[in-house]
Structure 1
């Protein structure tokens, strides 16, 4: 006679049971907000109270939290008034809905931390990763514009432009060994071209209201009431520079170089007359956005006269030489241009070669003596 083997009655295992039932090894019926076992025992059920996930924060999450803390406690984008500081904090909240904006904020913050201590290569690695993520995530929104994205895209454009300025001089030795030798002229022109493109994009696609409210865009030009002749009275070194332009340039190139020089010294005048301008970095960077494309093309072609004018841009940049994004640029750019041009153009570069602090003290002293 065959023996009948009784099968054990199958039952559904409780995999999402409450904490109390798991501790008592009891079967939980997983009823919310209080399971049957806890109700019978008249005890508090974990289903009826909120609980945190037991999944630990990973290393990247902790690093990003540290970056956000640094962004809120320090002025990553330059000296800001109390009003603009609040706006900067608001962009973080906006970034939680538009992740490409948050990525651009984190990339810029990581880059600033790396500029403070370049032995901490983790910050450079994090900056590059967030910058790449920001561009990848923003690209679809740039192709298919939606009004709800305008403020986030405006912030992304500004922070991405700032990143293109700050990153090249900070590249690690390992990264530079994989690329061509660092060329300050080429890198600066790339950064200017990126800023010009994003500015054109914003002006063509965003409402005037959003543009007018923004503190992120580069500031307009200097004291427009002063023409080139008026500027020559304030800056004697401008006359020989203009004579060089007349001698070495013709037609459209001459007009582009004269405009670049007038725009440059107009902005120098503006900063000298408003030394406490909290947004001086935007006044400075706006020069590269306002100059004629012909002038930038001449710089790309290493036209000697254009490079002489570009060397004078380092005087303007020196107004914010303590700002981490610009700190390395004046010396690196001027030194490279002097190497490219050689001794033949040393006299034309003499004024630009004077240290920024010494020159500003000299200029203010000259004005006081004249008064």
Structure 2
């Protein structure tokens, strides 16, 4: 610098050469810009969006010039997040003299017409059937859950799988097989990403993973409406294991999931203190099960403890479910018993231990007392019928099925 304070041309050049190169992504996707994350600009899906399994949308200026928008065979462009969903461009339509101007394009999987029909069935019918007559809960599935599914395709595939089964239950016989195949295909797509996310959980996918885990339980129970299981006890044990798996799914980001509006709306009833048993609340038939376990011979201490714990939880579930008013979701309360079972009791159930089977049969009574839900339909009957076969040679235990059989068969 000269004495008069002016920089020489040489000094200006030296200072400019010391500046760091600009590393900000100028042509990145919208998702990275919103997250203030550097985008690697890998079109059609950048590495960040691939890792998070979310849609990847781009400014028109970032779109490669030679990229052609794929079309459905009937000429409709089907995208899960099109900025102009009302526009359908046909490759055979030559009436347009100017190309359509669209501000952004979405690089996501394109959905077939059958998948779009399943999505319509989900939003118009299936989501309202998960918790019948509970408007607040159904609105969660219809709005928040569907919106999340459009951002996380693995959840969307899970919803479409459940919608396909729901549609198949009431479909004509000649359509059932096609819908079952669609359900299987959608579930496989959902599980492929679900398993990867279990191995590498992230905060962004925590709530969608919780929702998909919940959907998988309904899906597995619903499949019995199309193909009754050969081993109902084994099938319900599998569903109970899935319920246990929900805790595994949400554990890495438990605080985030618990604070979400979706979780609060779906589970508030479970922790409602007004439903807790009081001194005057007693379900005699469940309390009497304790005597069966305590007086049973040839039962080791660990088995006895697991059964007593299951009976205590079942009594609490009976009282809380029966206290639910019509506007509350009693199915969530009823299924909390299964979610709280110990690993050892589930092991006994998987081995079809006679005491565990008797306790499960009493839970089937509670299942039958809840309002109608299509995916639960006839499960109580399946459970007690299977229990009769398992306990057929144990006359001392068959009498413990009299109350469950009487309650369930009278409904």
TM-score (norm 2): 0.65
1:126-137 equivalence runs, <5 A:
126-137=182-193
- Segments of structure 2 that go 5 or more residues without pairing to the other structure are 1-65, 68-94, 103-110
Asked if 1:290 is matched to 2:344, the reply is: no
Q: Distance in 1 between matches of 2:199 and 2:164?
A: 28
Q: Distance in 2 between matches of 1:240 and 1:319?
A: 20
In the TM superposition, what is the alpha-carbon distance from 1:110 to its structure 2 partner? Answer: 0.9
Asked if 1:85 is matched to 2:138, the reply is: yes
Asked if 1:253 is matched to 2:303, the reply is: yes
1:140-219 equivalence runs, <5 A:
140-171=196-227, 182-202=230-250, 204-212=251-259, 213=261, 214=263, 215-216=265-266, 219=270
Q: Distance in 2 between matches of 1:208 and 1:50?
A: 43
Cα distance per residue 1:313-333 (max 9 Å; x no partner): 101111236201110210011
**Contact 2:209/2:249, CA 8 A, preserved across alignment:** no
1:326-337 equivalence runs, <5 A:
326-337=376-387
Pick aligned residue for 1:116 from 152, 170, 186: 170
Cα distance per residue 1:74-105 (max 9 Å; x no partner): 21422264443332222222222211010000
In the TM superposition, what is the alpha-carbon distance from 1:236 to its structure 2 partner? Answer: 3.0
In the TM superposition, what is the alpha-carbon distance from 1:106 to its structure 2 partner? Answer: 0.4
- SS where residue 147 of structure 1 aligns? coil
Which residue of structure 1 aligns with residue 406 of structure 2? 354
Q: Distance in 1 between matches of 2:254 and 2:409?
A: 40
Cα distance per residue 1:169-206 (max 9 Å; x no partner): 5238xxxxxxxx7100111111111220222331x212
Residues 1:272 and 1:246: Cα distance change in structure 2 (over 3 Å): same
In the TM superposition, what is the alpha-carbon distance from 1:131 to its structure 2 partner? Answer: 0.7
Residues 1:292 and 1:45: Cα distance change in structure 2 (over 3 Å): closer
Structure with bigger helix share is 1
Cα distance per residue 1:245-304 (max 9 Å; x no partner): 101244222222122112112211222222415321111111111122221111122221
Which residue of structure 2 aligns with residue 33 of structure 1? none
- SS where residue 148 of structure 1 aligns? coil
Q: Distance in 2 between matches of 1:269 and 1:188?
A: 22
How large is the Cα RMSD of the aligned pairs? Answer: 3.0
Q: Distance in 2 between matches of 1:50 and 1:165?
A: 47
- Segments of structure 1 that go 5 or more residues without pairing to the other structure are 1-14, 17-43, 52-59, 173-180, 360-371
Residues 1:303 and 1:73: Cα distance change in structure 2 (over 3 Å): same
**Contact 1:321/1:330, CA 8 A, preserved across alignment:** no
**Contact 2:277/2:320, CA 8 A, preserved across alignment:** no
Cα distance per residue 1:322-364 (max 9 Å; x no partner): 20111021001110111110161221111111234858xxxxx
Residues 1:253 and 1:331: Cα distance change in structure 2 (over 3 Å): same
Cα distance per residue 1:9-59 (max 9 Å; x no partner): xxxxxx99xxxxxxxxxxxxxxxxxxxxxxxxxxx96225469xxxxxxxx
Compare 265-274 and 182-191 and name the one that shifted more.
265-274
Q: Distance in 2 between matches of 1:240 and 1:349?
A: 13
Count the aligned residue pairs: 298
In the TM superposition, what is the alpha-carbon distance from 1:239 to its structure 2 partner? Answer: 4.5
Residues 1:282 and 1:146: Cα distance change in structure 2 (over 3 Å): same
In the TM superposition, what is the alpha-carbon distance from 1:163 to its structure 2 partner? Answer: 1.4
Which residue of structure 1 aligns with residue 19 of structure 2? none
**Contact 1:221/1:286, CA 8 A, preserved across alignment:** no
Which residue of structure 2 aligns with residue 73 of structure 1? 124
Asked if 1:266 is matched to 2:316, the reply is: yes
**Contact 1:246/1:254, CA 8 A, preserved across alignment:** yes
**Contact 1:264/1:316, CA 8 A, preserved across alignment:** no
Which residue of structure 1 aligns with residue 98 of structure 2? 47
Cα distance per residue 1:130-168 (max 9 Å; x no partner): 111100122222222222222221221211222122224
